[in-house]
Amino acid sequence: MTRARCCVPFCRHTRAVPSTWTSTHEWICGDHWRAIDKPYRRVWGRYKRKWRRFGPAITEMVMTDAEYRVWCRLKRQAIERAGGI
């Protein structure tokens, strides 16, 4: 079993990689997740609820452009907050 690191540079938090993940999956640890603005986290939560509801019917989870933009914004804000910006 391999470990996945938090996508924030120099963060030492890791988690186990589920067998369903591919090498392109990214993850934000809890410490950095709490630093992200709440409205962005809520938008991401709506996407997660949709994936949980319709996930079994979908064989391969692929993010839409809108979902990918939200994820990039979450990641960028987590990195900026960790750097003190």
CA angle 11, 5, 57 (to 5 degrees): 135
**pLDDT tens for residues 4-16?**
889 999 999 988 8
Share of residues in the chain with pLDDT > 90 (%): 35
User: Which of 55, 70, 65 minimizes the C-alpha distance to 20?
Assistant: 55
- Domain residue ranges in the chain: 3-83
Q: What is the pTM of this model?
A: 0.77
d(CA 26, CA 35): 17
